Amino acid sequence: MWGSRRRGRRTARIDTLLGQQTEIVGDIRFVGGLHIDGRVRGNVTGADEGAVLTLSEHGSIEGEVRVPNVILNGTVVGDVHCAERIELAPRARVNGDVYYGLIEMAMGAEVNGSLVHRGGEAAPRPQLVAGPAEPGEDEGPALAEGGKS
């Protein structure tokens, strides 16, 4: 799962590195690649479409993560919003919901929350609306496409 298929992928460029003994209290907004070995107490946001967050097994984030591409092998306490791709490595721990476009999850990774797929625009769901019954039919809610009656 983690080995042979990686050949076709581009490697993540690391522009910023937070060392294992580093703790940041506050929000981080970054462009490019961010690798975290330390601890962040605040939200982490990728400011461009190509932003990549890598959280090592020694790293942790207490806050919301909003980055297009994420590779997790550490702990996140908070929701993770990943518009494109998220990889959950064997030591990944997420205590919160994960919103993703594409997910890869290794055996041993944990998500204590919901996994919510965020693909393209979904078709509107039919909704039940109260309306006049047709002659000869039971009265009750009518089914309308997209919530229109």
Is there a single domain that holds both residue 36 and residue 65?
yes
User: What are the structure tokens assigned to 84, written together?
Assistant: 């494109």
The model carries a pTM of 0.73
Predicted confidence (pLDDT) per residue in 94-111, tens digit: 999 999 999 999 999 999
Is there a single domain that holds both residue 92 and residue 26?
yes
What's the whole-number mean pLDDT along residues 45-56?
95
Provide the number of structural domains found in the chain: 2
Q: Exposure string (b/e) for 70-93, b if CB count within 10 Å is 16 or more?
A: bbbbbbbebbbbbbbbbbbbebbb
Is there a single domain that holds both residue 133 and residue 72?
no
Is there a single domain that holds both residue 94 and residue 24?
yes
Range of the domain at 132: 122-149
